[in-house]
Structure 1
Amino acid sequence: MSHPIGRRAAAALVLLPFAGCGGLPAARAQRGAAALPDFADLAERVLPAVVNIAVTSEQRTEVPPELRGTPFERFFRDRRGRSRQSQGAGSGFIMDPAGLVVTANHVVGNASRVVVSLQDGEEYVARVVGSDDLTDLALLRVEARAPLPSVPWGSSAALRVGQWVLAAGNPFGLGGTVTSGILSARGRDIGSGPYDDFLQTDAPINPGNSGGPLFNTAGEVVGINTAIFSPSGASAGIGFAVPSDLARPIIEQLRAGGRVERGWLGVSLEDIEADEAGRRRNAGRGVVVAGVVRGSPAARAGLRPGDQVVALDGQRIETSRALVRNVAALPPGQTVQLSILREGRATEVPVQIGRRPAGQ
């Protein structure tokens, strides 16, 4: 039986002749090869700031409902109801030389102990400064004896579909791993929450990469790797990262106060398709208020079901997701102007943004 690597090598040998025979001229093939990026310098520069994260969690097996109140309950508690430790691993990156580490919330979860390991083998017990489950982000702090290597934030908005990216992390526990690919798409909704706005990349991302950075070619963090789409559980060429422009203000809030405060209107919304929007005398798509929470900022401002939201402080609103994200980014207490259409007539409604209730 031939080894898998042997099969891949054989396939490569079959393809080689096409570079110089009957297809592209050799000179053109060489120019194409020269145009491919070399990530060696980039990897050498950023890897010292990429960390492995090991977590220990306490798990307690609950007594099954069918055993409660029976003679077997005590036996179960004595033999199986004790706390057990589970281990996990993920990735992260140092954003500040003072020891601030960004990772994914689902990596640290309810961990009782978090250990951050650097590429040079140094290990530090980390403290969770704060986390946000709605964007799956967490901020850790380690106490180091000297300034740590760090990497800067970049702008995810400046990244164009088709541009090269580099993912780094701890896939399958193999620390210090880099993979390359392109930005495949942006604005992906994968059904994980109301703030889904993921970058999609074909840079191989696997279990253990969660929380690790996605770099642009300048060595700036443009995303935090968080999920993959895969029937097998391994990389299928579709990975998702939280955009840096979404992550950075969340991390700054965690750094300042350990928690995230989001703006809130208190409405349920529905998207309007283009043809329906036209009937509402508004070109393009839009957002309609489906319901108003009693006592909410929207209710106090006089918003009604059926109102169509056109803009927020002059910024055009196209989808309900955009409105939710824009409002969430506002500080509670700030007053904004909602441009709405009510029964076909345009009007401006001032609304004082509230604080998003916990669990919503």
Structure 2
Amino acid sequence: MPPLSTPFLSRRRAVLGALLLPPALAGCGSGPAVAQRGLLPDFADLAERVLPAVVNIAVSGEQSVQPPPEFRGTPFERYFRGRRERVQGAGSGFVIDPSGLVVTNNHVVGQAQRVMVGVQGGQELPARVIGGDELTDLALLRVESRTPLVAVGFGSSASLRIGQWVLAAGNPFGLGGSVTSGIVSARGRDIGAGPFDDFIQTDAAINPGNSGGPLFNMAGEVIGINTAIYSPSGASAGIGFATPSDLARPVIETLRREGRVERGWLGVSVQDLVAEDPRASRRAVLIAGVERSGPAGRGGLRVGDVVLAINGERTETSRGLIRSVAAVPPGQNVRLTVLRDGRTQEVTLQVGRRPPGPG
């Protein structure tokens, strides 16, 4: 099965190999494009307007060298202790405020010790990471510029329709200032990245280095942040995924205001449950595991409980339950309606603070 991957360029030498294109590609496809020119949109004005707000992001730092699996537990493992290697990478981003606020993917900046932002015209600016959110893979940076930067705004991803034209921009394979066009292939995609999966799928080419770059609608509004690709080779296969703007906007606003995103947590593992009777439409969430020291364990929730509602609102999927709890500020109470031993009852829990981690 082809792997899902984030289009993030982890090694600069990969860029050099990607630049060597066969000469025969130079004249490909010119005939049919002319015949169909009147039927296709022209992206030139749109690209000219939005590209000045798209930035390249270069990161560098060090990480511990891990021994190969076959060396672990052997005398050779000691040669790797304390060794560190330098890592470099590149991604994309976009300016949302002329004062120097830049949005990108959290996995682009990660634990980098140094982040540089390249703006249109070749200027490179050191960046400070204001904050990041692993669950939505978003990060907010700040750069200091002597002159106001060109910025773009968010549009509404909810208004997107399958088949609409979109424009992706970024730094694919280190080739800064690149744009590709395509259509919205699907909405609401769950690719197994986490409970906040709600991706826009597009066939606009998204490649390594495009991570964190914007996906524009034809009005020049950012309606997605390019995040992942589905490909057997690591390059674009026409299946790319972007975080929708309606999900990203409140996260970015929280990072701008507070520098971090705090989410509610119960300390349970859950799974979807469908009634055995095929005529029944009732769906619920089964509590499959409870951490004893977590909020659910302290509050009396049990393995085998079936959650029917949260604060009186029906919940039908484990993903929906996790997202509902995550939206509750830590320290507040939630009321779960559960089915236990054939009887319905209410369980009130004080929501805890979600620990760091992507899960």
Scaled by the length of structure 2, the TM-score of the pair is 0.81
SS at match of 1:102: strand
1: CA distance between counterparts of 2:166 and 2:346?
43
- CA distance in structure 1 between the partners assigned to 2:317 and 2:327 by the alignment: 16
> How many angstroms does 1:109 deviate by?
2.1
Q: Cα 1:220–1:312, aligned 2, differ >3 Å: closer, same or farther?
A: farther
Q: Which has the larger radius of gyration?
A: 1
Give, in angstroms, the shift of residue 311 of structure 1: 2.8
Secondary structure of 1:288's counterpart equals strand
Runs of 4+ in 1 over 6 A off after TM superposition: none
Measure how far apart 1:292 and its partner are.
2.4
Equivalent runs, 1:110-129 vs 2, <5 Å:
110-129=111-130
Matches within 5 A, 1:56-135: 56-59=60-63, 61=65, 66-67=75-76, 84-135=85-136
Q: What SS does structure 1 have at the residue aligned with 2:152? A: coil
Q: Which residue of 2 is the match for residue 180 of structure 1?
A: 181
Distance 1:308 1:82 in 2: 49
For residue 217 of structure 1, what is the amino acid of its counterpart? M
Q: In the superposition, relative to structure 1, how do residues 110 and 292 fare at CA in structure 2: closer, same or farther (>3 Å)? A: closer
Alignment match, 1:333: 331
Question: 2:261, 2:100 → 1: CA distance?
Answer: 20
Aligned counterpart, 1:324: 322
Question: 1:35/1:283 Cα in 2 relative to 1: closer, same or farther (>3 Å)?
Answer: same
Pick from 296, 299, 302 the counterpart of residue 297 of structure 2: 299
Residue 269 of structure 1 and its aligned partner are, at CA, apart by: 0.8
**Does 2:56 align with 1:55?**
no
Residue 52 of structure 2: SS of its match in structure 1?
helix
Counterpart residue number, 2:353: 355
Q: Does 1:38 align with 2:42?
A: yes
Distance 2:212 2:349 in 1: 36
The 3 A distance-change label for structure 1 pair 99 and 2 is closer
Q: Deviations over 1:193-237 (max 9, x none)?
A: 343332211111011101101122222222111111111221100
How far apart in 2 are the matches of 1:146 and 1:163? Answer: 35
**Superimposed CA distance per residue, residues 226-284 of structure 1 (whole angstroms, 9 cap, x where no aligned partner):** 111111221100011122222222222322332221111222111123x52x48x9624
Identity %, equivalent residues:
66
Distance 1:257 1:341, change over 3 A: same
Q: 1:2 and 1:209 mapped to 2: Cα distance?
A: 24
Inter-partner Cα distance in structure 2 for 1:2 and 1:167: 25
Q: Please tell me the residue identity of whatever aligns with 1:305.
A: V
* Whole-angstrom CA distance in 2 between matches of 1:172 and 1:152: 26
Q: Tell me the SS of whatever aligns to 2:325.
A: helix
Aligned pairs (5 A) from 1:160-239: 160-239=161-240
CA distance in 2, matches of 1:87, 1:326: 37
Letter in 2 for 1:3: A
Match status 1:3 vs 2:1 = no
Which range moved further: 142-151 or 286-295? 286-295
**How far is 1:36 from its partner?**
3.3
What is the deviation of 1:50? Answer: 0.7
Counterpart CA distance in 2 for 1:288 and 1:322 is: 12
What one-letter code is carried by the residue in structure 1 that aligns with 2:24?
Answer: H
Match for 2:283: what amino acid? R
Q: Relative to 1, partners in 2 of residues 1:50 and 1:327: Cα closer, same or farther, differing over 3 Å?
A: same
Q: Any idea what SS the aligned residue of 2:206 has?
A: coil
Which 10-residue stretch deviates more, 169-178 or 145-154? Answer: 145-154
Give me the whole-angstrom Cα distance separating, in 1, the residues matched to 2:248 and 2:66: 36
Alignment equivalent of 1:308, drawn from 303, 306, 317: 306
Gaps of 5+ in 2: 1-21
Higher relative contact order (CA 8 A, sep 6+): 2
Calculate the aligned-residue CA RMSD, in Å: 3.0
Count matched residues: 332
Q: Provide the secondary structure at the position in 2 that maps to 1:245.
A: helix
Closer/same/farther in 2, CA of residues 40 and 326 from structure 1, 3 Å limit: farther
User: Aligned equivalents of 2:115 and 2:270: distance in 1?
Assistant: 40
Structure 1 residues not aligned, in runs of 5+: 17-29
